[in-house]
Homo-oligomer: A and B are copies of this chain.
Amino acid sequence: MPVSRTQPQRKAVTKAAAGRRPSTTARKAAVIALPVRALRGDDAYQAIRRRILDNVYPPGHQALESALAEDLGISRTPVREALIRLSNEGLVEVIPRHGMRVLPVSPLDMREIYEVLTALESAAAETLARRKPTDAELKPLVDATRDMGRALKANDLDAWAAADERFHQGLVELAGNRTLIDAVARLADRVHRARMFTLRLRPKPTTSTEEHTAMLDRIRAGDGRGAIEVNRAHRERAGRELLAIFERYRLHQL
């Protein structure tokens, strides 16, 4: 779970013959640059994860290990390792004879996740408020909030969502508790998917910006209790709205 520790950054190894049988003697690549980047190990994890987050593999999508391996141009071994991690994170389900299945985001799941996130972020907000962070430390949060407002004016929902994620991510990171960061990160992908589905179905998220500003005020004032309350209200409202959309459009059939 400690992502930063368990995933030794692999430098981007490029292969001359990607996916080809490894030749006994390694030959230097032709002058022409490598057309396909060889995916292996953790890269397989990233690749599959990205396809899920980008909805290339939508909820309910099934794929056999061998099919994934072929898609990625690698063998089944690294694919299996990637699937173990993805199922750990609740993104996919491995069904013994039917490969993996991308898990749908059910309304129940969302309700659960929001409840947990609220608890975790509230703790982060309180810790942060107690620590009385400097303005410099809070700058990422201020910037993110500002960007949310700008994106909303420009009607750029994707930019709004990105800035909102940056705010929440930054809030948790500033608390400085690695275990907390990891716990949130573990839920982040699933929330991300749900929000992407609902992003264009819901009314303009105008109040979120104000709520973020209010939270920042509490944190600056060192008011831990107040920060908790604001965050809780923010999360609960957002969760309620998201669930309403979900149920109205029956997105959980996905």
Contacts and interface: CB of A to CB of B under 8 A. Distances in A.
Nearest to A108: B178
A15 interface: no
Chain A at the B interface: SS class: helix
Chain A interface: which size bin? 35 or more
Interface string A72-113: 000001001100110111100110100000000000010011
B183 A89 contact: no
A116 B6 contact: no
Given A116-B123, A118-B123, A123-B119, A6 B87 contact: yes
A180 interface: yes
Contact of A93 (B6, B77, B84, B179): B6
Given A80-B81, A88-B85, A6 B179 contact: no
Interface of A: 1-2, 5-6, 8, 77, 80-81, 84-85, 87-90, 93-94, 96, 109, 112-113, 115-116, 118-120, 122-123, 127, 177-180, 182-183, 186-187
